[in-house]
Structure 1
Amino acid sequence: MQFFRRLTIRKKQSSSEEWRKKEHDYYLQNGSAVLEELLALCNGNCRIPIRYFTASEIHNAIRYSQNKLEIFDGRMVAGSMDKRLVFVRFFPHYFRNFFNIFRDIAITAQMSHLKNVLRLVGCCVEFEKPVMVYEYVVAISLYTLLFEKGNHDDQTRKSLLSWGNRLRIANDVASAIVFLHTEFTTPIIYKDLKPSNVIIDQNSGVAKH
């Protein structure tokens, strides 16, 4: 019996060591790719540094979370880090364009000072696909507001989609696009603008991308 216990412990230790090695390999591979994107994007002069979280911190942050938001072609899970609420974004298993993930991290980090961009708190590169961590907002996707009428009462929808708010949403989105086109060394052309990639902050009414 003692022998089997020792064997089980060794297997667990071996499995844990293998996983730590994987995390380390992902960290080196993904971390260098993000850094390359940052250097290329900012010509070596980045405004805002990126905070890196460990895989353990990500797991601990969302351990008890049941709050999920299906936006940005992925899943945003509400969690808690450093005693504050955050959104943790996971890319779906079928998403294989790693270059877009690295670029997304680099671009969002340099736009996080804008009110109409969901602020990037940091990222974790210790997974096969990097994970992004954003500020938490009480939000609803523009797609849900426009097309999924059963999810919110009519009064809320009318308030958030008044003509004044529609113009403000259009202006918020346009401002983010203009920044992409004009503020980087090489203009960035955004090709995936759609309602599901825009969220509305239900407290401020600001459209965030």
Structure 2
Amino acid sequence: MSQTRIDFRQTKFLISAPDIAHLDKHLPGDVGVEIAFAGRSNAGKSSALNALTEQKNLARTSKTPGRTQLINVFELDEHRRLVDLPGYGFAKVPLEMKRKWQNALGEYLQKRECLSGVVVLMDIRHPLKDLDRQMIEWSVASQIPVLALLTKSDKLSQSEKMKTVNTVRKELAEFGDWVAVESFSALKGTGKPKVLSILEAWCNPDWLNDQIAEGKAE
């Protein structure tokens, strides 16, 4: 089955929800393909989504990290979606709210059958914090491929950037092909073609193409 080309510039906002139960109510079932974006609240998640889709305001950015308290779903086409998960580990909010976000993250990763891949975004200057590692381990344990995306790469020199990428790849080598590591700059656009190629591959699992061909994924 040939791979369907995805125009990420056509991405549009679909829905916001506080938890997976609300997603189930408002989405057409746990079907198709979803790619989740997760990361600490200061990892530049919204900026990365805007840069990858070439839309300035698709995902809301804020000078105060941690404002994204909902699961935000964006539609690529009728079968494929990008999911912006609540940021974790930084926001100055009550502990009860943090626990609620963590529960939503864990529930989504463990129960969402249509999840095809997880992008774990980390500031390249501060990679692999405890919650980042936990997110990667959760995903791999569920047999979901991960892209460890080292953001804000424009903040480092070329040599520093490559050194950090190689260090992170070495530290995540135990997960084999389940985890890819790439650097990215939303400001400069560096790394964008590689990231899009990975996302496009995740958008095209053989089972989805077979469903579409047979007219089942409608």
- Taking structure 1 as the reference length, what is the TM-score of the superposition? 0.27
Indicate the structure whose relative CO is greater, using CA pairs within 8 Å and at least 6 residues apart.
2
Larger of the two Rg values belongs to structure? 1
- Taking structure 2 as the reference length, what is the TM-score of the superposition? 0.26
